[in-house]
Amino acid sequence: MPADYNGTWVMIENKNFEGLMKSLDIDFATRKIAIHLTQTKEIKQEGDKFYTKTLSTFRNYLVDYTIGEEFEEITKGLDNRTVKTLVQWDGDKLVCVQKGEKANRGWKHWIEGDKLHLELTCEDQVCHQVFQKQ
């Protein structure tokens, strides 16, 4: 049985977020605001169906997906691009590949203890975020 991602997770660590945002061509003012925000993730998992909300005082982002089913994702409120997104299990990790105009774009989620890890990649940048379960 894959890991249980259900719950509310509050960010406690955010490494190289600005580098990731630069690789996504996010403007200077938005980057300066975003690096100071604490995000909360709300994840509802029903088998291989995920409903996710990433919340902050600046912007919110919602995305729902089913493991193994590619879909068109519009990253409105992030970098405003359209990408083909595919999320799959790799053991207990969720691994996402996003195909579009940026190379090496995607993310990985995994749980260690009561912490949710998120590794975001784009081109040569890697951002590592850690969330504490509430």
Residue 110 sits in a domain of what CATH number? 2.40.128.20
Backbone phi and psi for residue 99, each to the nearest 5 degrees, phi listed first: -100, 130
Report if residue 85 sits inside a domain: yes
Segments forming the whole domain that contains residue 64? 7-133
Report if residue 28 sits inside a domain: yes
Report if residue 124 sits inside a domain: yes
Q: Which residues contact 54 (CB under 8 A, 6 or more apart)?
A: 39, 40, 41, 60, 61, 62
Total domain count for the chain? 1
Report if residue 38 sits inside a domain: yes
Reported as a single tens digit per residue, the pLDDT across 4-21 is 999 999 999 999 999 999
Give the pTM: 0.94
* Two structure tokens written together for 22: 């630069």
Report if residue 2 sits inside a domain: no
Reported as a single tens digit per residue, the pLDDT across 26-57 is 999 999 999 999 999 999 999 999 999 999 99
